[in-house]
Structure 1
Amino acid sequence: MSVLIVIPARYASTRYPAKPLALLTGASGTARSLIERSWRAACEVQGVDKVVVATDDDRIKDAAEAFGAEVVMTSVDCANGTERCAEAHAVLGGGYDIVVNLQGDAPLTPHWFVESLVQGLQGDPNAGIATPVLRCDGAALNGLLADRKAGRVGGTTAVFAADHAAMYFSKEVVPFTSKTYEDTDATPVFHHVGVYAYRPDALAAYPSWKVGPLEQLEGLEQLRFMENSHKVLCVEVEAKGRQFWELNNPEDVPKIEAMMAEMGLA
């Protein structure tokens, strides 16, 4: 099956303007932009036919082309990364069996997360979209809870059924647990990893659907599939010793840089 990875990137982020061009310094002391690090992560994924950056901003286009990425220009009217991926796939002429949305704020995404995601979607013909979930250890859960206590959105959590069909995604920490966890404890909370794999027909239909109340309240694009009765498959992935965090707020920069230093990522 042919696989396209699209990295949607926009300049005018509400929470963090110019976020794709924010610099992250790795263990070697080299500073690279967030969009470059996300592109490098995408290029490590096996079994992919093409990787492109999709943007509506010339500043991101110029920066991406400077480090060697292929860029697809998309409309300023795209409401989220899924809509931008749908447009990018159409601009490229379509024809891919699976389109992966590797959001441009997740430079620590290990290649096996995406490989497992594609395999999961290939194995479930009833799912039009799949997304990875990672069981939180105590340290990750405590980080999510600390962000919420401080009024920040530090990540998204997911709950799913026995067949791994998503039941809900939230920027709150769900399910509720009153237990105190040590850093290395396994918890009942799953961190939603901001990557998606779509079948082309589900992706093409997405922009035509109205934004539902849950998507509007949570600001989570994947809820539009669920509000239109489309199965979202949650694929559980393993960290294998790698730390994972998304860059949602300026305060996340030193956190991610510390993780990169600890893992020896240049």
Structure 2
Amino acid sequence: MSVLVVIPARYASSRYPGKPLVPLRGSGGVARSLIERSWLAARAVSGVDRVVVATDDDRIRAAGEGFGAEVVMTSSDCVNGTERCAEAHAALGGGFDIVVNLQGDAPLTPHWFIEDLVAELRAAPDAGLATPVLRCDGAALNGFLADRKAGRVGGTTAVFGADHGALYFSKEVIPFTSRPYDDAEETPVFHHVGVYAYRPDALAAYPGWTVGPLEQLEGLEQLRFLENGRKVLCVEVEARGRQFWELNNPEDVPRLERMMAEIGLD
């Protein structure tokens, strides 16, 4: 099965304009842009046939081509990464068996998350896409609950059935749990990690579906699949002691640089 990794990237982020071009220094002091580090992360995944950056901005295109990436220009009308992946796959002429969306602000995504996604999607012909979930320990859950108590939106959580088909994703903490957990204790809450592996038919159908009320309320693109009856496979992954974080705000830069230093990422 051929695998395409698409890295959607846009310049006009409302929270952090120009984010894909922000430099991040690795353990050796080398500064590389966020989009280059995301591209390098994609290239470290085994079993991938092609990696492309998908953007609507000439500055990102120039940067990507400058470090050797293949860049696909997409429309500025794409409202999220899934729509941009669908457009990029179509622009390449299709033909891939699995399309992976590695978001351009998540360069520390462990390669085994994506490898596990692809393997599980291959084994589940009834699923339109697969996405990773990570069981929260008490420290992570308590952090999510503290965020919500303070009026902040923390991580996205997921609930799924016995077949690991997603039932719902939310920026609230689900399922409800009434008791406190020790920091190292296993909890029933799963953190959703924003990486997706799609079957081409589900991906191609996605832009034609109307944005439903759940997607609109939660601001979560994957809910459009559930609202249109497509099975979303939740794949439980293991962090293996690895820290990872998305770059959402300027204050996240030093956090990511510390994490890169800890794992010796140049």
Aligned to 1:242: 242
Report the alpha carbon displacement of residue 150 of structure 1 after superposing the two structures with TM: 4.8
CA shift, 1:146, in A, is 4.2
Which segment is superposed worse, 91-100 or 155-164?
A: 155-164
- Once the two structures are superposed, the pairs formed by residues 74-223 of structure 1 within 5 Å of their partners are 74-223=74-223
Residue 41 of structure 2 corresponds to 41
Q: After the TM superposition, which of the residue ranges 145-154 and 114-123 deviates more from structure 2?
A: 145-154
Instruction: Read off the aligned partner of 1:181 and give its amino acid letter.
Output: Y
Q: Where in structure 1 are there 5+ consecutive unaligned residues?
A: none
C-alpha displacement of 1:250: 2.7
Question: 1:162: how far off?
Answer: 1.1
8 A contact 1:11–1:17 mirrored in 2: yes
SS in 1 for 2:207: helix
* Cα distance change on mapping 1:45 and 1:140 into 2, 3 Å: same
Match of 1:135, SS state, is strand
State the Cα distance separating 1:24 from its structure 2 match: 2.1
Cα shift readout 1:208-264 (whole Å, capped 9, x = no counterpart): 000000101111110000000111000111111111222223332222222222233
For residues 259 and 142 of structure 1, the distance between their equivalents in structure 2, rounded to whole angstroms, comes to 21
Q: Which amino acid aligns with 1:91?
A: A
Whole-Å separation in 1 of the counterparts to 2:154 and 2:256 = 12
Alpha-carbon offset, residue 169 of structure 1? 0.8
Deviation readout 1:55-103 (Å, 9 max, x if unpaired): 0001111111111111000000011100100000010000000000011
Cα distance in 2 for residues equivalent to 1:19 and 1:154:
20
- Note if contact 1:154-1:248 (Cα within 8 Å) is conserved in structure 2: no
CA distance in 2, matches of 1:151, 1:261: 32
1:146 and 1:255 map into 2 onto residues whose CA distance is 20
Indicate how the Cα distance of structure 1 residues 125 and 113 shifts in structure 2: closer, same or farther if over 3 A, else same.
same
* 1:248-259 equivalences in 2 (<5 Å): 248-259=248-259
Residue type of the alignment partner of 1:79: V
Conserved 8 A contact 1:153-1:248: no
Q: Which amino acid aligns with 1:250?
A: P
**Count of residue pairs brought into register by the alignment:** 266
Measured on the aligned residues, the alpha-carbon RMSD in Å equals 1.6
Report how far residue 22 of structure 1 moved. 2.0
- 1:229 corresponds to: 229
CA distance in structure 1 between the aligned counterparts of 2:259 and 2:150, rounded to whole angstroms? 21
- Alpha-carbon spacing, 1:62–1:146, altered in 2? closer, same or farther (3 Å): farther
Shift of 1:151: 4.2
Secondary structure in 2 matching 1:27 = coil
Describe the SS at the equivalent of 1:16. Answer: coil
Output one character per residue of 1:173-222: Cα deviation in whole Å (capped at 9) or x when no partner: 22233433343332222111111011111110100000000101111110
**Residue 160 to residue 83, structure 1, CA distance change in 2 (3 Å):** same
Shift of 1:140: 2.7
Higher mean Cα deviation, 180-189 or 202-211? 180-189
Q: Aligned partners of 1:252, 1:176: CA distance in 2, in Å?
A: 29
State the identity as a percent.
80
Mapped contact 1:6–1:102 kept (Cα < 8 A)? yes
The aligned amino acid for 1:223 is L
Q: 1:247 to 1:138 in 2, by over 3 A?
A: farther
SS for the counterpart of 2:130 is: strand
Q: Is the 8 A contact 1:147 1:154 kept in 2?
A: yes
Runs (5+) with no aligned partner, structure 2 = none
